[in-house]
Structure 1
């Protein structure tokens, strides 16, 4: 059954806080230690204090939040019983807050809080998606939780919150946006509505990411990337993702590569595999050729258009000084070979892989990993 689910009320600007906090007496802020120590939480604590709203701050979230952090957050929720959960930060605090909210509601006497996400990076789209990725360090694994109930009730988009993001993080998170949009566009669950959001996100990324990477003070480009991230989140939350994320989850977990960077490293090779550029043309090639039309790089044939997208995306990533292959990310051949079979198994079983446009075998996933290690696209 096809469907397109919109739940989140999106506010563009800090003024939306007045409505989010209306009638609230107790609020819990979920963030990370950097946001807390740098004083960025004042973005929320000052209006909370002005409105005489009691609040607590849970700042234990780290990159790739794990099960233990979520459990501690749930304990605080049970003790404090907030009426609204305010997630401030990148994908990690928002993902942690999602898991905390949905899992705490399963405890006796607890109800799911009103939930607002305030992203401080333009990357994950987590503020409007039903996805949350939680890590298990003992298993060197990342588990995507997927359920409509995790979608935030509100998202507040304020470009001023991302103006100080350094270029390297801008690049990582921006490529994450592009990957979300491309995977949503070619997903087996794509439809007219997800296509519209994904195509607009791709256009915004291609027009603004290099600008903001080169000139971090370009607030207009920052705003456009913030909107692109949200639009891509809307697209993939409804359409799903694909093999790229299935592989990136396990690559990042094994080698501690930031999620967006892992996606960017893999993207040209997964696109080439899905479209059949390495062996035989697939039905998905038509969808990649459509992207060529969106960004103005069509070729004389569908295969050439799909290949242009793959090659052009790799060149675009290089403009952001991101690694062009796994080896370039500093992973030795011995370490890669030692983790390869575990990564193949994890990617094959990853929930995101289910909506990949090409049904893949473990042998094919292994081949894509090997190609992505050396950087071969032809």
Structure 2
């Protein structure tokens, strides 16, 4: 007998003084995983300043975008040598995914004895600080692999909006659209429930109020905090409900054409909503999102409600000056034609595909990509 369940493991600290949580760690070997940029621009000092001097701290700054398997391998070797008692992942999705990937493979190799992971995001995007998912890239095959495992939920997440204030507009737009895609996909995914619906609806409400403000006025602390909360809400929602076609295609588009993950999702999202809306029940669910977030009155037809939802998403992208096609993202026609079938084949095999509300084929993905070129 199948039993429904909701599993929430991560303890979340949020608000103005949330980083102070780190000051309570005493006498431990702490391994901080981040990228080189956060060390060079001084952001790492905000973390180091609150860590007590009784701890031994080691930095790993080898994080790269789209978490390569080679970096994971180096990280596992360092973990076995340093034997940290606490791991802090500090940065965007790549830093947190790297830490989770290291822990995943270390546990597979019996080299990890339950080291607690504290995730501190510096972007409002992936929601990786509250999920059981990590994405890694095999650069030889240009394929992205997504792993889902309850053992890699971060034990704690620290959400401090001050750490996101310096995000440039382009990254704010890309990561913000990733949050929106998480919420939209979780809302109609096969694993959706009343719990995940509530989380996704609130996430979309916050995004529509705050993302454009963050893009235009990056120093607006309240808007940044709302986006950081939206990211975690959407992350929890998709970690329980699943994702779908947008992410399965975005993973492969990103790995093959080297397009930022959030931007790939932004390009895909409208066409994916249209594709899934072929099913009347899914279309009605999208309409519910428009009703519940105040985009339209409940009295209007569901089809019109979905049209308004799509218009809101497209308008948001245009106001943030985002590319709307793969060609505008810099993909050449030659490169597209050479790889479109390969991308479609890998997308259908992607770990997110089974949770899409309706079945997709390689031909469906190819057609969708050709519309977006």
Same fold (TM over 0.5): yes
| Structure 1 unpaired stretches of 5+ | 374-378
CA RMSD of aligned residues (A): 1.5
> Post-superposition shift, 1:21?
4.6
Distance verdict in 2 for CA 1:201–1:255, change over 3 Å: same
> Post-superposition shift, 1:330?
2.0
User: Deviation above 6 Å: which 4+ runs of structure 1?
Assistant: none
Name 1:345's counterpart in structure 2.
345
8 Å contact kept, 2:210–2:226:
yes
3-state SS in 2 of match to 1:42: helix
> Post-superposition shift, 1:108?
4.2
> Post-superposition shift, 1:249?
0.4
> Post-superposition shift, 1:266?
0.4
Distance verdict in 2 for CA 1:298–1:29, change over 3 Å: same
Given the alignment of the two structures, is residue 53 of structure 1 paired with residue 55 of structure 2, yes or no? yes
> Post-superposition shift, 1:106?
3.3
> 1:110 and 1:130 mapped to 2: Cα distance?
17
Distance verdict in 2 for CA 1:5–1:354, change over 3 Å: same
The equivalences for 1:9-28 within 5 A come to 9-13=11-15, 14-15=17-18, 17-18=20-21, 21-28=24-31
> 2:108 and 2:47 mapped to 1: Cα distance?
27
Given the alignment of the two structures, is residue 211 of structure 1 paired with residue 210 of structure 2, yes or no? no
Distance verdict in 2 for CA 1:108–1:353, change over 3 Å: closer
Distance verdict in 2 for CA 1:81–1:313, change over 3 Å: same
Distance verdict in 2 for CA 1:80–1:334, change over 3 Å: same
3-state SS in 1 of match to 2:12: strand
Distance verdict in 2 for CA 1:285–1:109, change over 3 Å: closer
8 Å contact kept, 1:116–1:154:
yes
Distance verdict in 2 for CA 1:46–1:19, change over 3 Å: closer
The equivalences for 1:62-73 within 5 A come to 62-73=64-75
> 2:160 and 2:198 mapped to 1: Cα distance?
23
Name 1:376's counterpart in structure 2.
none
> 1:141 and 1:252 mapped to 2: Cα distance?
9
> 1:24 and 1:3 mapped to 2: Cα distance?
37
> 2:265 and 2:28 mapped to 1: Cα distance?
40
Name 2:286's counterpart in structure 1.
288
> Post-superposition shift, 1:19?
5.9
> Post-superposition shift, 1:81?
0.4
Name 1:317's counterpart in structure 2.
317
Note the alpha carbon deviations across 1:48-100, whole angstroms, 9 max, x for none: 3x332001000001100111101101111111100000000000000000011
> Post-superposition shift, 1:103?
1.8
TM-score (norm 1): 0.94
Deviates more, 1:150-159 or 1:18-27: 18-27
Distance verdict in 2 for CA 1:75–1:17, change over 3 Å: farther
> Post-superposition shift, 1:23?
4.2
Deviates more, 1:298-307 or 1:123-132: 298-307
> 1:179 and 1:86 mapped to 2: Cα distance?
27
Name 2:162's counterpart in structure 1.
160
Distance verdict in 2 for CA 1:253–1:108, change over 3 Å: closer
| Structure 2 unpaired stretches of 5+ | none
Name 1:308's counterpart in structure 2.
308
3-state SS in 2 of match to 1:144: strand
Deviates more, 1:107-116 or 1:363-372: 107-116
Name 2:181's counterpart in structure 1.
179
> 1:91 and 1:355 mapped to 2: Cα distance?
22
> 2:170 and 2:239 mapped to 1: Cα distance?
26
Name 1:254's counterpart in structure 2.
256
8 Å contact kept, 1:24–1:83:
no
3-state SS in 2 of match to 1:283: helix
8 Å contact kept, 1:104–1:112:
no
Distance verdict in 2 for CA 1:25–1:268, change over 3 Å: same
8 Å contact kept, 1:269–1:310:
no
Distance verdict in 2 for CA 1:272–1:27, change over 3 Å: same
Note the alpha carbon deviations across 1:204-242, whole angstroms, 9 max, x for none: 000000011111111110010010001000100100100
> Post-superposition shift, 1:282?
3.1
8 Å contact kept, 2:23–2:50:
no
3-state SS in 1 of match to 2:50: helix
Given the alignment of the two structures, is residue 236 of structure 1 paired with residue 234 of structure 2, yes or no? no
Deviates more, 1:59-68 or 1:360-369: 360-369
The equivalences for 1:50-129 within 5 A come to 50-108=52-110, 110-129=112-131
Note the alpha carbon deviations across 1:14-54, whole angstroms, 9 max, x for none: 44543675345100000001012222111222233x33200
Deviates more, 1:129-138 or 1:328-337: 328-337
Given the alignment of the two structures, is residue 44 of structure 1 paired with residue 47 of structure 2, yes or no? yes
> 1:20 and 1:304 mapped to 2: Cα distance?
52
